[in-house]
Structure 1
Amino acid sequence: MKALRKPMAQVLTKMNPISHKPRRYFGTDGIRGRVGVWPITPEFVLKLGWAVGKVLARQGNGKVLIGKDTRISGYMFESVLESGLSAAGIDTHLLGPMPTPAIAYLTRTLRAQAGIVISASHNPYYDNGIKFFSAQGTKLPDHLESAIEEQLEQPMTTVDSAELGKAIRVVDAPGRYIEFCKSTVSSDIILNGLKIVVDCAHGAAYHVAPNVFRELGAEVIEMGVEPNGLNINLQCGATHPEALHQQVLTHKADLGIALDGDGDRVVMIDHEGHILDGDELLYIIAKHKTGMGTFKGGVVGTVMSNLGFEQAVKQLGLEFVRVPVGDRYIISELTKRQWHLGGEPSGHIVCMDTTTTGDGIITALQVLAAMRHGRQSLSEIRSGLIKYPQILLNVKAAQADFSLESPRIQEAVKNVEQALGAKGRVLLRRSGTEPLIRIMVEGEDKYRVEQFAGQLADVVKEELGAV
């Protein structure tokens, strides 16, 4: 199989829900390497497992962890990955449905050579993907990714029968991760008296997240905890918090917590029904740590972070930097600067003083700790942040191969930027997963922002033949 010279470490395909044959494939924003992007068929995943196993076998005898979310294709891919690794002589420890950040943590604590996550995160059930973690719970080193790419070019062979890898089911994985999550906040954080609605999006955190908050003393009302393989992220979770909003108001809860399908994103809802996105949660954590005198460095956001959030962070006396959309860019910048806190408006937040990747449960716990220490409600503790109106539009391109560099598009962007001045921003970017142009305009006046966003969308449609 010829490798495509594009990043890998997570590969993703959109599957036909009946035949499981790929309709198309694409890479996603995630922890990426160099290996390539292929359609995820069972045949490819088998060889991928074998290639990973052959490379790891050269590093010494060890084991690989495999976790997954709750989508139906995870059963198939888990089996073929385990078979490929076994054919290369590598033992696998099967974790079953577990949040992505749990696999990163367990890879470290169980001293595995690598961790593999079968998940398409916040995407619908008919998508699936594969992400890799190193022994340290971070992205694979470049030399390993290059070696895997080279191995994929070789014909697949199987070790002698006596050397085949074994598979072991890890039955206490959820309990181990629950205890780790609880350990990330100080022992004086007790949630007694709080009523919390927890929406797990019928995803990987369904049997973990409610117990974390319940064991810390909260009264927990569960949502999205009945996965059937097809309902993951379906009108629920972090990407669709409307259902949680209603439940918080109905139950007169103190707050709501919405995770996505693999548990690395979170948004929260206060008792009044206001939705707090990643910018607001980041601000709460940064303000709390600054007040406690424990904050180190600055905050990393992305090009999508709200201008009001940037200004609020700077008012705390903290430095703020932007990177492209994607957790790999956030983690890279945090590592380079030796900072600890960064994230995206989507709710993908990295607290590197506690873990190595984005973790929705740990982010929510950091916010709850801030509430408890400040003796404030969620709506009270977010004070100090005034977000600018921000309009996001998606324009679907007629073809996957398109450019935003046309003179007319660039002139339209320049005109809007001049009209907004220093109190507004414009961003046009390609989606990392779909043939879409993402248009973002923000400024002080919502009406003008809406007008400008619509004008830009019209220009893009005309120039690219978009729909």
Structure 2
Amino acid sequence: MARRLFGTDGVRGVAGEFLSAELTLGLARAATARAATSAADGRPRVLVIRDTRESGEMLEAAVAAGVAAAGGVALLGGVLPTPAAPLLIARYGFDLGVVLSASHNPFADNGVKFFGADGDKLSDAVEEEIEALLDGEPVQPDELGGVRQLHGTLDDYLRELHVRFGGLDLAGRRILLDCANGATYKAAPEIFRRLGAHVDVLADTPDGRNINAGCGSTHLDQLAAAMRAGDHDAGFAFDGDGDRVLAVDGDGAVVDGDELIALAALHLRAQGRLRGDGVAVTVMTNYGFHAAMESAGIEVAITNVGDRYVLEALRARGWAFGGEQSGHIVELGFAPSGDGIASALLTLEALAGRPLTERRGMDKLPQRLVNVRLPDRPSLERAASDPQMLAAIERESAGLEGRGRVLVRASGTEPLLRVMVEAPADDEADAVCGRLVEQAEAAASQPAG
């Protein structure tokens, strides 16, 4: 049975419209009822945290009502980064976690995502069960539950970070943070200061509507300009819920997830801490990353786009480190999810006192990514399967073999054909990408049938 409501990262949409208080209450009630079947006393304890969107308090109240109506106890942890959820679940033995956030989306959107008692995001199968419960008659508990404020959650999260990075001395380091007016606005500056850094902060005054607005990991111009104008060793930009990070060096150059993962993987390998001497990344990862890992003797597993697929690959191989170009970076030794703050600290640990401009992780190949927008899904399917298109991909791939690569894939959510080319030089990447885009447009224009 296909899921109707859940996407790749929970249920997400415009708050008050698609993601109404009624739907949110129903989701929380259904998820709690399911959790009650495995809770020790049939009365699940449910952690609820959120980011800084103005709709967060409304949806928090709806979740609390749904949890209590199903006989659970809602424990309201307030504004915290998403990665705090699995850490707090593990610390206190909660039965379920609910995070209210739409990550890097604009403020009008919000989302509901669930974490199980093991700290992992719920599987597709469990999300299907929740949808089925939502469609049926609500389960009536023997007694109603309750709602409690959970105090000290920020300190709990900071304590976990400090335990992991307590040996990292940032004295004398100047760090610039862009908190996206989101969930990291308190936690990130505080842990960097506790570790001794001089910290300057951008976008740390959330007003409910300015989350991700011209700031954060999806809008790096402000951070890049400040890095060029200042004398900071490194700059880090988080997204709205704090599960991803991108960096900017002193020259204003963006350092994406590929480079951050490469730098950390080489560091962990040198320290004997890279479990299995392997790392998992997605199909979008730059060819230069693969070359650097091959040179270092580090095995690479390639997954589909999405942090859940990276996690699956890590667990299947018994590895512990991987991530995505977008800045989702997972170190299973710390938490079973991407954590932007932890990833930034791991980057500084790997730099060992050097500024980010002196990173030595990988030589990044020029990359061109063009989204070819097509009229509809049938046009997309025709372009993706067209024999001449497939022949063009094979021809261009052969021409770049051993030097770069071609990746053409259909978007799963929009009528877009994503054409990506990596080559040793900018002009070659542009030329190959241009030819493939032209072929894709020609294929899509062919009549159906």
Fold shared per TM-score above 0.5: yes
Distance 2:53 2:367 in 1: 33
- Structure 1 residues 180-234: Cα deviation after superposition (integer angstroms, max 9, x where no partner): 112112x332111111111011111111111010111111101111112222112
Q: Which residue of 2 aligns with 1:54?
A: 33
Paired letter, 2:375: A
Paired letter, 2:332: M
Distance 1:9 1:308 in 2: 28
Q: 2:372 aligns with which of 389, 395, 402?
A: 395
For the pair 1:461 / 2:438, whether they are aligned, the reply is no
In structure 2, the CA distance between the partners of 1:461 and 1:82, relative to structure 1 (3 Å rule), is: farther
Paired letter, 2:83: P
Q: 2:354 aligns with which of 352, 361, 376?
A: 376
Q: How does 1:251-270 map to 2 (within 5 A)?
A: 251-270=230-249
- Structure 1 residues 404-448: Cα deviation after superposition (integer angstroms, max 9, x where no partner): 222233233223213323322111223344443322111112112
Q: How does 1:56-75 map to 2 (within 5 A)?
A: 56-59=35-38, 60-75=42-57
Q: How does 1:232-243 map to 2 (within 5 A)?
A: 232-243=211-222
In structure 2, the CA distance between the partners of 1:150 and 1:139, relative to structure 1 (3 Å rule), is: same
Paired letter, 2:234: L
In structure 2, the CA distance between the partners of 1:141 and 1:434, relative to structure 1 (3 Å rule), is: closer
Give secondary structure in 2 for the equivalent of 1:10.
coil
Q: Which residue of 1 aligns with 2:190?
A: 211
Give secondary structure in 2 for the equivalent of 1:52.
helix
Contact 1:87/1:157 (CA < 8 Å) preserved in 2? no
State the aligned residue count: 439
CA drift of 1:3 comes to 7.0
Give secondary structure in 2 for the equivalent of 1:86.
helix
Q: How does 1:349-360 map to 2 (within 5 A)?
A: 349-360=329-340
In structure 2, the CA distance between the partners of 1:42 and 1:5, relative to structure 1 (3 Å rule), is: closer
CA drift of 1:274 comes to 2.2
Distance 2:334 2:30 in 1: 32
In structure 2, the CA distance between the partners of 1:66 and 1:461, relative to structure 1 (3 Å rule), is: farther
CA drift of 1:67 comes to 1.2
Q: Which residue of 2 aligns with 1:183?
A: 163
In structure 2, the CA distance between the partners of 1:422 and 1:9, relative to structure 1 (3 Å rule), is: closer
Give secondary structure in 2 for the equivalent of 1:191.
coil
Q: 1:279 aligns with which of 248, 258, 272?
A: 258
Q: How does 1:251-330 map to 2 (within 5 A)?
A: 251-297=230-276, 298-330=278-310
Contact 1:72/1:125 (CA < 8 Å) preserved in 2? yes
Q: 2:404 aligns with which of 424, 432, 450?
A: 424
Q: Which moved more, 1:283-292 or 1:403-412?
A: 403-412
Contact 1:3/1:153 (CA < 8 Å) preserved in 2? no
- Structure 1 residues 23-57: Cα deviation after superposition (integer angstroms, max 9, x where no partner): xxxxxxxxxxxxxxxxx333222211111121112
For the pair 1:174 / 2:154, whether they are aligned, the reply is yes
In structure 2, the CA distance between the partners of 1:288 and 1:307, relative to structure 1 (3 Å rule), is: same
Q: How does 1:331-342 map to 2 (within 5 A)?
A: 331-342=311-322
In structure 2, the CA distance between the partners of 1:42 and 1:429, relative to structure 1 (3 Å rule), is: farther
Gaps (5+ residues) in structure 2?
none
- Structure 1 residues 331-376: Cα deviation after superposition (integer angstroms, max 9, x where no partner): 000001111110111111101111111111111111111223xx42
CA-based RMSD of the aligned residues comes to 2.2
Q: Which residue of 2 aligns with 1:10?
A: 9
Give secondary structure in 2 for the equivalent of 1:423.
coil
- Structure 1 residues 58-78: Cα deviation after superposition (integer angstroms, max 9, x where no partner): 223221111111222222222
Give secondary structure in 2 for the equivalent of 1:92.
strand
Q: Which residue of 1 aligns with 2:87?
A: 105
Q: Which residue of 2 aligns with 1:32?
A: none
Q: Which moved more, 1:395-404 or 1:302-311?
A: 395-404
Contact 1:428/1:437 (CA < 8 Å) preserved in 2? yes
Distance 2:233 2:360 in 1: 17
Distance 2:102 2:44 in 1: 27
Distance 2:80 2:253 in 1: 29
- Structure 1 residues 276-317: Cα deviation after superposition (integer angstroms, max 9, x where no partner): 111111111111122222222201111011111111011111
Distance 2:176 2:304 in 1: 32
Contact 2:44/2:71 (CA < 8 Å) preserved in 1? no
Contact 2:223/2:235 (CA < 8 Å) preserved in 1? yes
CA drift of 1:143 comes to 6.4
Q: Which residue of 2 aligns with 1:132?
A: 114
Q: Which residue of 1 aligns with 2:346?
A: 366
Paired letter, 1:340: A
Q: How does 1:191-206 map to 2 (within 5 A)?
A: 191-206=170-185
CA drift of 1:321 comes to 1.7
Distance 1:447 1:41 in 2: 49
The alignment-based identity, stated in percent, is 38
Distance 1:435 1:74 in 2: 31
